[in-house]
Structure 1
């Protein structure tokens, strides 16, 4: 994709869709895949240039802006499905039969989610006494981590970034989800359980929330732009590790959860604290995902 001078090959100058596809592909890079790292920087630069020039036709411009905001590999799939259906509906080459099938599929799955939510809403929070001991330990671990965050706020404690991320990993239940998913593997052995104890934390929980950015700003004395860049690099590094583990012998359930957790975190905290202050963009996305069917 580059010529001898490191510039975009002339033949690709007007291949915006191809550059966009390469941009998306670069986000599945594993640690050490330098060519894909270069492709990520290269395509990001040129896509931003295309946006600034205003040379893209409206529909393609919409797709490029969406990708630059957050790559497909980092997005929660069902949320992106709705966005894509609505974008496809505005395409001149739209096939009405395919569109209707996609809408029906989305609404059917949404109905399943509604049923599951109704079941969850019947759970009694006071039922902890009825849980087995190992489940009580999980619950108390999450409860204590959440309390630690509350203490920081009330006491004016300003944690360092590593301290904040470690606590977020616990309070978000990341360790519980990952452990349960790992134990559901078909080829679980004593050796694999011992190796799992060293599995790296997915430090994406609240990765783009203002709290993590402020922690790094206070710790390092840098401006917000530099702190945001640092958090973005942490997220990229974590994703490279996750991408590498997808080719491991871990069970498919574990791999699915390992990818789903950071995608959910991006969804909840991309536009600020979508959990603690859920009245903005995140709330609208949740409503459209779970409660508002697509019109046929």
Structure 2
């Protein structure tokens, strides 16, 4: 299935126009923000950049005088999250009104509805250095969710586990889209137009990715000129590195025919590389638990530095910062549950095409 296919292209355009109509129909700030949030999680943000900007510009302009934002912790958290995710400069003041009193984080606020707590948890991962209130809020939110999880089941428990495992800000979005489509279609507020668009868009993009992988997996230098320019650059770089590595090994070890083996396998055997956990345990003479906590703290601090760059208006540098943040997300996803890159059975799989016979016929 390709976007070049006239039928699918026409269907995509029609459904995009249908969702754009939702922005006109919705009058409430909360409904518009939830629409923007769903569009982003469903992988459709690129189709609605203008509409999203209009919503967020309006929210930012009226935020200080908007009583609903000031009085609703869920709306305030959602507003803060979306503004920061889209690069707007926004302080933690509106959240502090709910979270802090006399210099202390209010535990009571983080014992409310699960919906509120989840949104506060998402906000806490958008903190920059020095925003200690969000760090404290994260600790209390996790504790509150852990206690409440004993009384949860079904979709709600699944949503909580997903959020606690890895926040959306740290995830590679493409690997999360199919999960969110599954989750979204079970919601009582689900909009069928938006859901159908998400499924169609997912299939189109995934089919394109699969076709690119097929082309790249051939690694035939004779046909490189038939590839798109951006793929030729990637292929040529990989081909050059492979050839240079093979030549160097052959010179040093006086071996022949190294190149064919490199083309089949560029991976070292498992167990050769010491993990960061083992290195730190040995160097500092500490337990594995202490080591893991130390590394988690390093990761949190690194993300705060990344956030500082992401949420600063740098004009032409924004694309580079976005690429750097995505590289961090890829690394985090690959190693979240161990070595997901070298060990191939960690459950890290590419999402498959969405199969829905009724919608895709």
Give the TM bin, normalised by the shorter chain.
0.5 to 0.7
Structure (1 or 2) with the larger CA radius of gyration? 2
Given that residues 171 and 329 in structure 2 are in contact (C-alpha distance below 8 angstroms), is that contact kept between their aligned partners in structure 1?
A: yes
Aligned to 1:108, the other structure's residue is in SS state helix
Counterparts of 1:61 and 1:124, CA distance in 2: 48
User: Cα gap change, 1:280/1:153 in structure 2, threshold over 3 Å: closer, same or farther?
Assistant: closer
Given that residues 27 and 73 in structure 1 are in contact (C-alpha distance below 8 angstroms), is that contact kept between their aligned partners in structure 2?
A: yes
**Please, which of 12, 15, 40 is the counterpart of residue 138 of structure 2?**
40
- Structure 2: runs of 5 or more not aligned: 1-98, 224-231, 249-266
1:218 paired residue number: 282
Aligned to 2:286, the other structure's residue is in SS state coil
2:21 paired residue number: none
2:351 aligned with 1:293: no
TM-score normalized with structure 1 length:
0.66
User: Cα gap change, 1:235/1:97 in structure 2, threshold over 3 Å: closer, same or farther?
Assistant: same
Deviations 1:203-251 (A, max 9, x none): xxxxxxxx22222222222222211111111111111111111215252
Higher relative contact order (CA 8 A, sep 6+): 1
2:75 aligned with 1:9: no
- Structure 1 residue 16, shift from structure 2 partner: 1.7
2:336 aligned with 1:270: yes
User: Cα gap change, 1:125/1:38 in structure 2, threshold over 3 Å: closer, same or farther?
Assistant: farther
2:159 paired residue number: 63
Given that residues 76 and 267 in structure 1 are in contact (C-alpha distance below 8 angstroms), is that contact kept between their aligned partners in structure 2?
A: yes
Given that residues 106 and 294 in structure 1 are in contact (C-alpha distance below 8 angstroms), is that contact kept between their aligned partners in structure 2?
A: no
- Structure 1 residue 255, shift from structure 2 partner: 1.5
Matches within 5 A, 1:145-156: none
- Structure 1 residue 6, shift from structure 2 partner: 4.4
**Please, which of 324, 331, 335 is the counterpart of residue 258 of structure 1?**
324
2:204 aligned with 1:113: no
Counterparts of 2:280 and 2:355, CA distance in 1: 41
- Structure 1 residue 7, shift from structure 2 partner: 4.1
Task: Say how many residue pairs are matched.
Answer: 230
Given that residues 207 and 353 in structure 2 are in contact (C-alpha distance below 8 angstroms), is that contact kept between their aligned partners in structure 1?
A: no
Aligned to 2:329, the other structure's residue is in SS state helix
Aligned to 1:281, the other structure's residue is in SS state coil
